[in-house]
Chain A
Amino acid sequence: MSATLRTPEVFILGGYQTDFSRNWTKERKHFAALMREGVLGALESTDVEPKDVQVAHVGNFAAELYCKQGHLGAFFVEVDPAFSGLPTARHEAACASGSVAILAAMAEIQAGWYDVACVVGIEQMKTVAAAEGGDYLGTAAWYEQEAKGIEFPFPKLFGKLGDEYDKRYGLKDEHLAGISAINYANAKLNPLAQTRTWYMNKAHACSRDDFNAAVGGRVKISDCSQVTDGSVAVLLAGRAYAEKYAARRGVKLESLPRITGWGHHTARLKFADKVAESKDAAYVLPHVRSTITDAWRRANLGGVTDVDGIETHDCFTTSEYMAIDHFGITSPGESWKAVEDGSLEIRGAHPINPSGGLIGAGHPVGATGVRQLLDSYKQVTGTAGDYQVEGAKTFQTLNIGGSGTTSVSFVVETP
């Protein structure tokens, strides 16, 4: 792959996120309503006409299980009469489903097939009880070998990630609690975050009792992301439409953010195999590292000091702990230093998850990658409100499916 290969630009026109605190089952809503609100919200907030959308991609993990519903691309068409006949498809890569849907839309825009794409990430998860939902999530691992018959398999797998760090470098749980506390604190600034009204502080994240029980080895409830209903839609465009769009809105083309870099790798499915592969490597999950560095290379960035903030995949505090050194904020194994010195906070040197991330903002599995892109858009356009990273021009995402299996990263920039 050549670093100098120039691909056509992909612009982000904007998008919409539903309020992640909503419980659509309690509202007695069908999946179709969740799709509808996300898509209509995106069209309205960007002022793009339905007839202008040329293709739609839906990122979703497991609607067949949670909602007994497949063929999700067709639900996009249900949103507006103008969508009748539109090419659509659904994409799945566990928790990275939203990001692979974005990759598909980007590729089609760059290939010149279409000029305006809508990408929807969507998951309705509160349809089932916690244990059943936990079992469904186990299908993002090698179900028969890693999840079958295990209660809440994923916290246990990511507990093992913490154990691996502990073995290689040493790990104190208080640093994981610190990551949790930052994400919850940031979520309080985000009016769409699921946990914005929840009771949380560092002391609670450090506590270990009935209110904060262990669910997977060293992983406690406060170390976990949330079970969330949500949809997020973004509108992506090629240069020709973006020029027209900017002119119509009386803004300069340069003011529109674009996706300037991407990375995408898939590691072996089983966690033990990944760890065995990396035993002599500098990074615990080398393919995650490559995903990040590929995105930098394609965006012509030198490294983490060239990004103003990160929206990363904190499905558990251990995954963010891993992301910190994989992004190069610290040397491998020294992520704790960034937790301690305040670097990760919104006003720190390397803000991570100003939105609150998956722990604070919520984690509707298939929507998360799109939510990260939309939050990056908000940051680089100065529209993130109370969780704005001051002066942000460049943001990066990291979205991970499975136990560090499929990784996707995007760089979003305004010049």
Chain B
Amino acid sequence: MMARNRTEENDVLASRRIDHAVVLGANGAMGYGSGALFTSAVPRVTFLARAKDKADQGLKVAVNAVRSSTVAHKVDTGDYGKDFDRAVANADLIFEALTEDFEVKRAMFERVDALRKPGSIVATVTSGLSIDALGRGRSESFRKHFLGLHFFNPPNVIVGTELVAGKDTDPGVVEFVDLYARKKLGRVMVRTADTPGFAGNRVGFKVLNEVAQLAEEHGPVLVDRLVGPYTGRALAPLATVDLVGWDIHRAIVDNIYKNAKDEAHATLAMPGYMIGLLEKGVLGTKSGGGFFKTENKVRLVLDPKTQGYRPVAEVKLPDLRFIDDVARLHRDGLYKEAMRAFVAAPGPWADIARKVVAGYVSYAFHRAGEVTKGIAGIDDIMGFGFNWAPPSVLVDTIGVRETIAMIEAAGLPVPANLAAAAKTGASRRLYTNPHGNIGRFFVAG
């Protein structure tokens, strides 16, 4: 991104006004969450849904989510019938948050294209569908003003945001949205290429899916412990998949598996046991359970082999003392010592944990230049979108050479950019975010 001084930034921000935003799909979590966020900067926001009462419901949840009744002062609601034309024709920003279905979105954009005023910005919150493909068949003016603005759920809490331009998107529009989101909406912005899953989901769901694959043999409790918060994440992987929803997980990994071919392709194939259960209605937390669920105050865990559940407390775990040792060092703020202990830990379980962590680092560094310009963008979206230790933070904490050795020991390919970093002096830090407290990513447990 071009470095700009404050005066230049103010000029860009003053170049257009966002006085009215329309949220399409305001009854969904991304719709009302983003809508609430917009009210912090946009004077008037219209929540639209299939029916007005759905939009009203979205507004009610939004008010509770940000804990301020003042959200409602700036919002009006309506449906896709009688309220649609006037709202879309008047809007400066049209924000699409419909279900993650290519055809549904395309049909909506066709309607928007016919009504929007010239110069209005159209953004989609898609978590990985192609911006170019979604814009195909639309007018030139639409395509010039169309981009991906991928918030993470919940948008009022998680600040990491991906900005995805299509090949026809006007660079001036991209620059404005980037600055507006940073300065007015408090976002950490990452520009990504229009590639499947963009940057965050591409790298993040590779890891989540690999852990889901490992769960088939080792069980969810063990793998969530092995790749747990102590490896640099706020929430363990399979607990994350349950929260995200198995249907969303499938949409994301299937899209990447189908449309991207890379050196870790096999890790993006959704495990068969998950597909079977998903088809029986297992969607994770929103359907009452996934890998984990709670019944009669007892926490239960899925056995992927039998597809039944049993109490977590009955699961016998092997000797995992190395995890306690690493966590104890994190607890006292000794992050380098902790990650070195992780790298040195003996035994097959530590090997599995290292293979996933090494796979994350290897995959992320391989994607730098493909999904973002450099590793810094991937670092920011993993840190501020996923709440995971960014790959560069892991490398800095473990050591470049030690990380390469860990990747090699796991039988994974060493990224050329990481090998180059090892040659040019191991003392230089790779993580460049000046305000990132690296300690925040390592949870002592």
Contacts and interface: CB of A to CB of B under 8 A. Distances in A.
A211 B156 contact: no
Contacts of A386: 183
Contact of B40 (A18, A28, A199): A199
Closest 5 CB pairs of A and B: A33-B333, A36-B333, A199-B66, A28-B444, A191-B435
A30 B156 contact: no
A385 to B, nearest CB: 9
Interface in A197-255: 197, 199-201, 203-204, 207, 209, 211-212
Interface stretch (B68-76, B258-266, B283-291): B68-76
Contacts of B439: 27, 29, 33, 37
Given A207-B70, A211-B68, A30 B331 contact: yes
B121 interface: no
A86 interface: no
Contacts of B435: 19, 191-192
Interface in A170-200: 188, 191-192, 196-197, 199-200
A32 interface: yes
A30 B70 CA distance: 38
A228 B157 CA distance: 17
Given A30-B331, A199-B40, A201-B70, 9 more contacts: A18-B437, A22-B440, A29-B444, A33-B439, A35-B333, A192-B435, A203-B73, A204-B68, A211-B68
Contact of A22 (B63, B66, B157, B437): B437
Given A28-B327, A207-B69, A33 B437 contact: no
B284 to A, nearest CB: 22
A30 B328 CA distance: 10
A204 B439 CA distance: 33
B442 interface: yes
B69 A209 contact: yes
Contacts of A191: 435
Contacts of B4: none
Interface centre among B156, B327, B333, B442 (most CB of A within 10 A): B333
A29 B437 contact: no
A14 B442 CA distance: 26
A197 B333 contact: no
A267 interface: no
A36 B332 contact: yes
B47 to A, nearest CB: 16
Interface centre among B156, B234, B327, B444 (most CB of A within 10 A): B444
Interface in B34-51: 36, 40
A63 interface: no
Interface residues of A, number: 29
B40 A29 contact: no
Interface string B348-375: 0000000000000000000000000000
Given A37-B439, A197-B156, A28 B332 contact: no
B326 to A, nearest CB: 12
A374 B415 CA distance: 40
Nearest to A27: B443
Interface of A: 18-19, 22, 26-30, 32-37, 188, 191-192, 196-197, 199-201, 203-204, 207, 209, 211-212, 386
B95 to A, nearest CB: 18
Given A27-B443, A30-B332, A199-B40, A37 B437 contact: yes
Contacts of B67: 199, 211
A386 B4 CA distance: 12
Contact of B442 (A27, A30, A188): A27
B330 interface: yes
Interface string B122-138: 00000000000000000
Interface of B: 36, 40, 63, 66-71, 73, 156-157, 159, 183, 186, 234, 327, 330-334, 435, 437, 439-440, 442-445
Contacts of B234: 26
A18 B331 CA distance: 16
11 contacts: A29-B330, A29-B439, A33-B439, A33-B444, A35-B333, A36-B332, A37-B439, A192-B435, A201-B40, A207-B68, A207-B69
Contacts of B69: 204, 207, 209, 211
A386 B40 CA distance: 18
Chain B interface main SS type: loop
Nearest to A190: B435
Interface centre among A36, A37, A196, A199 (most CB of B within 10 A): A199
Given A27-B443, A207-B69, A199 B437 contact: no
Contacts of A34: 333
A94 to B, nearest CB: 26
A199 B186 CA distance: 11
A386 B9 CA distance: 11
B332 A203 contact: no
Contacts of B333: 29-30, 32-37
B443 A28 contact: yes
B331 A33 contact: yes
B180 to A, nearest CB: 13
A141 to B, nearest CB: 29
B42 to A, nearest CB: 12
Contacts of A188: 186
Contacts of A33: 330-333, 439, 444
A336 B157 CA distance: 33
Nearest to A205: B70
Contacts of B183: 386
B332 A32 contact: yes
B186 A197 contact: yes
Given A196-B186, A204-B70, A211-B69, A19 B440 contact: yes
Contacts of A18: 437
Given A19-B437, A22-B437, A36-B333, A199 B157 contact: no
Given A19-B437, A199-B67, A29 B36 contact: no
Contacts of A199: 36, 40, 66-68, 71, 156
B325 to A, nearest CB: 14
Contacts of A28: 327, 330-331, 443-445
Contacts of B73: 203
Nearest to A209: B69
A36 B329 CA distance: 12
A225 B99 CA distance: 40
Interface centre among B159, B186, B234 (most CB of A within 10 A): B186
A230 to B, nearest CB: 10
Contacts of A29: 330-333, 439, 444
A22 B234 CA distance: 12
A19 B439 CA distance: 10
Contacts of A197: 156-157, 159, 186
A138 B234 CA distance: 33
A273 B349 CA distance: 65
A27 to B, nearest CB: 5
A212 B70 CA distance: 11
A63 B445 CA distance: 23
A18 B435 CA distance: 9
Contacts of A201: 40, 68, 70
A210 B327 CA distance: 39
A200 B68 CA distance: 8
Contacts of B331: 28-30, 33
A211 B327 CA distance: 37
A211 to B, nearest CB: 5
